[in-house]
Structure 1
Amino acid sequence: MSTQKHVLQEAGTVEENSLRLDQGKAEQIVDALNTDLAATYMLYHQLKKHHWNVEGAEFRDLHLFLDEAAEHAEEAADEIAERLQALGGTPVSNPVNIAETAPVEFEGDDVYDIRTSLANDLEMYGDIIESQREHIELATDLGDHASAEILREILVQTEEDAHHVEHYLEEDTLVTDAAIEK
């Protein structure tokens, strides 16, 4: 528990910003960015889980890819958090609040085969991509072109990583149960 006696800003609040973005608009964008931040944290943790647990014939490539993809998610989370703070908001950071705020669900602590794990990742990527697109449109409509641009840059990387996952799930990759039985 913090020993600080004076709270500088309560979590979930949006203060006036120096970017001259209307308070009401800033509140909407901060809410959207916190949703994306929470989703990105969930993706990061799921990718790291798969990075730690991957096995099999393509272990090395997948291990490296999953670590790199998790780094991309971590970098995106940092950019999102810094932007929403600049807008006068407070980044969601409590693990319970992250889980409640995220529009995606962590697959859990059980370890699955890599095809299942990657399919779960691809599903999460798809949900995050849809959310990011909606929030780019929202920020643009509200005149916050900088937030829209930041999200566009993040979206490019998110889509690229999702596309790589899709490639790993193609039929001619990863040893399947049918191939083992032959």
Structure 2
Amino acid sequence: MSTQETVRRQAGSVEETALNIDPEKAEQLVDALNTDLAATYVLYHQIKKHHWNVEGAEFLDVHEYLGEVAADLEADADELAERAQAIGGVPLAGGATFEEHAPIDPEGDDVYDIRTSLENDIEAFGVIIDSLRDHIELANDLGDYTTEELLRDVLAGVEEHAHHLEHYLEDDTLVLDSATK
């Protein structure tokens, strides 16, 4: 718990910065960035859960790939938070806060088979993709081309990971289950 007696910046506040973004526009942009930040961290923790719990014949490949996905999501979250701060906002922080503001619900605490886990990840990626596309349009409409470019970069990586996860779920595999033997 903090022992600081005064708060330097109120959560949810937006202040003017040297970037000269109109405060009303900055509020909308910070809200959008914080939504994407929250979703990214909720998915990050879900991906880490799957990374830790994956089993089976393709364990190592899936484990390593999910580690890469988690690292990319963590880097994206950092970029989103830093941009929110740069335009005068206060980035969200904390697990409960992220879950409260994310447009996705975290998967439960139970461990599922890897196919179900990856399907849940793809579903979450889809929600994030839609959110990022909406926020790219918002940033463009508000004339914040730097935020727009950042969100486009995040979107490209998120789409790539969603596409790669689809490949893990294809039915063409060298691993045969007992039903096909």
Q: TM-score, normalised by structure 1?
A: 0.96
Deviation at 1:60, TM superposition (A): 0.5
What amino acid is aligned across from residue 153 of structure 1 in structure 2?
D
Q: 1:175 to 1:105 in 2, by over 3 A?
A: farther
Distance 1:44 1:174 in 2: 29
Unmatched 5+ residue regions in structure 1? Answer: none
Counterparts in 2 of 1:107 and 1:133: CA distance versus 1, 3 Å? same
Change (3 A) 1:26 1:63: same
For structure 2, list consecutive stretches of 5 or more residues without a partner in the other structure: none
* Cα shift at 1:173: 3.3
Secondary structure, in 3 states, of the residue corresponding to 2:122? helix
2:75 corresponds to? 75
The residue aligned with 2:87 is 87
Give 1:29's aligned amino acid.
Answer: L
Using the TM superposition, give the Cα deviation of residue 174 of structure 1 relative to its aligned residue in structure 2, in angstroms: 7.8
Determine the structure 2 residue equivalent to 1:180: 178
Distance 1:120 1:180 in 2: 25
Q: Deviations over 1:33-72 (max 9, x none)?
A: 0000000001100000000000001001000000000000
Post-superposition CA distance 1:10-35 (Å, at most 9, x none): 11111112100000000000000000
Asked if the contact 1:56–1:175 (Cα under 8 Å) also holds between the matched residues in 2, the reply is no
Same amino acid, percent of matched pairs: 62
Q: Secondary structure at the match of 1:12?
A: coil
**Using a 3 Å threshold, how does the CA distance of structure 1 residues 135 and 89 change in structure 2: closer, same or farther?**
same
**Given residue 137 of structure 2, which amino acid in structure 1 is its aligned partner?**
E
- Distance in 1 separating the partners of 2:106 and 2:71: 17
Task: Name the structure 2 match of 1:26.
Answer: 26
Is residue 88 of structure 2 the alignment partner of residue 65 of structure 1?
A: no
Q: Is the CA contact (8 Å cut-off) linking 1:58 and 1:174 kept in structure 2?
A: no
Q: Equivalences for 1:1-182 in 2 at 5 Å?
A: 1-173=1-173, 175=175, 179-181=177-179, 182=181
Amino acid at match of 1:12: G
CA RMSD in angstroms, aligned pairs only: 1.1
Query: CA contact under 8 A between 1:38 and 1:102: conserved in structure 2?
Result: yes
Deviation at 1:172, TM superposition (A): 1.3
